[in-house]
């Protein structure tokens, strides 16, 4: 059996960064990944005439960003993506399209700023929205049905942004700090997978890292660590294999920790760590990606469902009214991505593929109106991040509880120390990053943080 200095559990952005950093620093590392690929909640797939992202899609900001910097350092072109929308109505008409577009732009402008009050983002946006109407469209304030309908649209748009289940759960105050530069930069036809190829030295036919061993399809079932300081950490896998090392970096998602922490760790996690796992919210954002022979749309689309059309939907089709936008992946010219989140996404994950494909084509046709015929797609891909036992969700968000616990993410990310105060079980992942949660750069930063805790313990 090979002697390892560190075992890394999971090869998402946090795990791949940690493993690569340690291996380049001269440490002998074993990475155990439950899936058949690296990437975690980044998943690039061939689709249409290029590639699409079923998980993380964009580099959110450029400075300081390990993700962006590695692209530039390796002479890989990345492009900024236009996220402007054309607005369509569910009755196929153009009625009030300019007004709806104006209000959607208002929503985007307001969400770039935080509230000055301890309130939910629902309260914050509702207050701002009604103030905007009073100042610019006073007659609409008395149209209760329109106001309620647009508030529901904003609820869904917030959930699509935050991966949240309901905007009443999301804090309007957050420690998240946007990086400088464009917030929607794409790897386009290179695919986000390229980031992992760079981290693991397989880009451009690289031969990997000599100090790093990787085992895919290896699901870790238990991590036993010596609290008294004697012996190694023992990592047991589903097939019965056991591996040992002085320490382990655990980079599984918050969703997996919520589901499995009681069985995964021996001895059990301390109460403050369990409290952090339970308190931080894990969200869900899914994609339905359609490819066509050629693009029949001109740009991204926003879907405004009328109250009447929502009422007319059969009960089994109500999920369609929760899909309110589509984007065009920059890695493929003839594909279209539709977004769904929260409980709606959970439901859609359970539906047969043919049902989803048929219904989303019906949805597109409804919004395009009588003058456009939506062709049948040549293929469909979709994400299932909640059903996936190795993710159980997409990414974390700040809920209302967390305002009273400002250091809860640091608690989640703090290592378990033995009697000699030596880190034995370390934690990384986007949910452990207070200012960069929910992003690939945040996850990568956390992996680097824990690697440096081992390489330069006096500086961390």
Contact 170, 398 (CB under 8 A): yes
| Distances 116 to 79, 125, 129, 157 between C-alpha atoms, Å | 34, 12, 16, 21
Q: Is the pLDDT of residue 245 over 60?
A: yes
What is the rounded distance in angstroms from the CA atom of residue 101 to the CA atom of residue 89? 11
Q: Is the pLDDT of residue 1 over 60?
A: no
Name the average pLDDT for the chain.
96
pLDDT at 187: 98
* Percent of the chain whose predicted confidence (pLDDT) is above 90: 97
| Distances 335 to 50, 237, 281, 329, 376 between C-alpha atoms, Å | 9, 39, 31, 7, 12
Q: Is the pLDDT of residue 458 over 90?
A: no
- Cβ neighbours of residue 134 closer than 8 Å, sequence gap 6 or more: 141
- Cβ neighbours of residue 203 closer than 8 Å, sequence gap 6 or more: 74, 194, 197
Q: Is the pLDDT of residue 460 over 80?
A: no
Condensed to tens digits (0 to 9), the pLDDT of residues 146-204 reads 999 999 999 999 999 999 999 999 999 999 999 999 999 999 999 999 999 999 999 99
């Amino acid at each position: 059996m090979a002697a390892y200095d560190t075992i890394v559990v999971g090869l998402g952005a946090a795990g791949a960064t940690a493993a690569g950093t340690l291996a380049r620093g001269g440490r002998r590392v074993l990475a155990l990944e439950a899936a058949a690929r690296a990437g975690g909640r980044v998943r690039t797939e061939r689709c249409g005439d290029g590639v699409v992202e079923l998980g993380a899609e964009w580099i959110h900001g450029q400075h300081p960003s390990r993700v962006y910097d590695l692209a530039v350092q390796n002479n890989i072109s990345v492009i900024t993506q236009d996220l402007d929308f054309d607005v369509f109505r569910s009755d196929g008409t153009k009625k009030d399209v300019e007004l709806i577009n104006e209000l959607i732009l208002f929503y985007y402008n307001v969400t770039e700023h935080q509230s000055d009050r301890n309130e939910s983002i629902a309260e914050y946006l509702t207050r701002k929205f009604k103030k905007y109407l009073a100042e610019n469209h006073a007659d609409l304030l008395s149209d209760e049905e329109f106001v309620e309908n647009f508030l529901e649209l904003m609820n869904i748009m917030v959930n699509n942004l935050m991966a949240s289940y309901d905007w009443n759960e999301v804090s309007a105050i957050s420690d998240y700090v946007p990086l400088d530069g464009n917030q929607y930069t794409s790897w386009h036809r290179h695919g986000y997978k390229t980031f992992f190829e760079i981290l693991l030295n397989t880009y451009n036919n690289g031969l990997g890292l000599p100090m790093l061993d990787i085992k895919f399809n290896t699901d870790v079932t238990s991590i036993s660590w010596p609290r008294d300081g004697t012996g190694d950490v023992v990592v047991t896998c589903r097939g019965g294999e056991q591996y040992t090392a002085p320490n382990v970096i655990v980079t599984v998602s918050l969703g997996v920790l919520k589901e499995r922490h009681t069985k995964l760790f021996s001895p059990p996690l301390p109460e403050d760590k369990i409290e952090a796992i339970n308190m931080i919210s894990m969200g869900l954002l899914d994609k339905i990606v359609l490819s066509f022979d050629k693009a029949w749309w001109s740009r991204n689309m926003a879907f405004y469902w009328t109250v009447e059309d929502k009422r007319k939907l059969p009960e089994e089709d109500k999920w369609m009214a929760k899909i309110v936008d589509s984007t065009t992946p920059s890695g493929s010219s003839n594909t279209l991505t539709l977004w769904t989140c929260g409980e709606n996404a959970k439901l859609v994950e359970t539906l047969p593929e043919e049902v989803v494909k048929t219904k989303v084509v019906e949805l597109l046709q409804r919004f395009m109106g009588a003058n456009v015929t939506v062709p049948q797609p040549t293929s469909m891909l979709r994400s299932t991040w909640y059903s996936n036992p190795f993710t159980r969700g997409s990414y974390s968000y700040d809920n209302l509880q967390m305002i009273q616990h400002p250091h809860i993410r640091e608690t989640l990310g703090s290592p378990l120390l033995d009697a000699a105060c030596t880190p034995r079980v370390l934690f990384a992942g986007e949910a452990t990053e207070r200012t960069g949660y929910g992003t690939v750069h945040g996850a990568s930063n956390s992996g680097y943080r824990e690697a440096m805790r081992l390489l330069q313990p006096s500086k961390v």
